[in-house]
Chains A and B, each alone.
Chain A
Amino acid sequence: MSANRSPRVFLAYTGEKARIVRAYDYLILVLALFLFIGSFHLHFALTVGDWDFWVDWKDRQWWPLVTPLIGITFPAAVQAVLWTNFRLPLGATLCVACLSIGTWITRIFAYHYWNYFPINMVLPSTMMPSALFLDAILMMSNSLTVTAIFGGSGFALLFFPSNWPIFAMFHLPIEAGNSQLTLADMFGFQYIRTGMPEYLRIIERGTLRTYGQVATPLAAFCSALFCTLMYALWWHIGLWFATTRYLKKI
């Protein structure tokens, strides 16, 4: 705990006061851990969860666009509070690490052990490199504008290359039933999802198939633009919620 006070009046605590402050820090750490696992995970799962749950949803057109777009929201809001008030450059990494912990626990115990989905079918994506980059840009620039433009863009652009080593193998072509499909598609056909008819997957729509693999960088740059705007929006949402007002009545 060290508030953003003027260096002129701030003196480091010693003795019992230092121990009190350190104990408070630990309490806040535990609180923040569960808060952001619970809240960020719910926000993420109910807005772009499907792309993260299932390997066959991890396409080139939507997944690299929507996941960073929602993934940058909580990091921006938490950075606004932790950096502005405490000079802690870890808001994004904290949120994304919490999200990773929450998703991994659920994929293993709720999907794999309860309902027997293969763990490879429900591997979560990672945004850790993106989050580290975002925190580093904020720390070095100390600027909302610079972080929104360069950090936000980098957050989106790093997403696909960070995940490609994990998921590339599931995009290998295979032949089944006289059709060419990917290994990821095969998972979808083999493990029937009772609530999700195949035709309802929101992946790779459109007619211009000659774009080929260029669809991915196009989606990533589109996401970079949106992330720039989303970052600034959520920075202000974070500040708005972190009000210190007391009301007379509610």
Chain B
Amino acid sequence: MNPILEVVGLYKSFGPVEALRGADLQLRAGEVLAVVGDNGAGKSTLIKHISGVYRPDAGQILLAGVPLDLASPREARERGIETVYQDLALADDLSIGANIFLGREPMRRLFGILPYIDERAIRRETADLLKKIRSEIPPEAPTVARLSGGQRQAVAIARAIYWQAKVVLMDEPTAALAVMERERVIAHARDLAAHGVGVIYIGHNLTEILKVADRIAVMFRGRTVHVTTTGATDQETLIKYMTGYSETNKAA
């Protein structure tokens, strides 16, 4: 099966710092691919290239076999790459529906002239979506301000599903969440994959990673050093690759 997203030999430096030194990745539709690595291994830099924040110095990103040259996060989104941000980028004073449709509101026209936002369609679609991802968010919540971290995550995920994202990037989605909430986010990630979306899941809690991922890619010092299916590995092996132990051994 052809990968939906492919990263080949990505290189990026910020001044003297080489953040990526040949990162590779292959993501298939309908799978959760976890990317793990120590702090500074280049996980976030890699994600920011895929989401259109950074442009690589060298290397290529291919979406369904077509080379991508993303100028902005907006362009990435138009191509079907959605990012669920760590800091849960929602507008607190807007409703759940308004957040899901933010920037892409369905419009109608009064008497064929005066345009207005189709709130009824937004409400209907939002209720459907929340049902689809089996979220227990009270649909009557007036704004997202009082939602918990996990519920906010669900709103972001609903947004990705509605807009038929091909690839969803989840950058440390559980970092700020309580234990129960983490379980929900893991379920959401699995849901996305079940909808045929390719999910890249960044994390460093290995117990969680082993639970959510179909495959795991390990990064070390800006490079992809190891890729494995989840069933064929364990925490110890992953830690060896994450700390560079196996690489130094190979060199020796």
A binds B: no
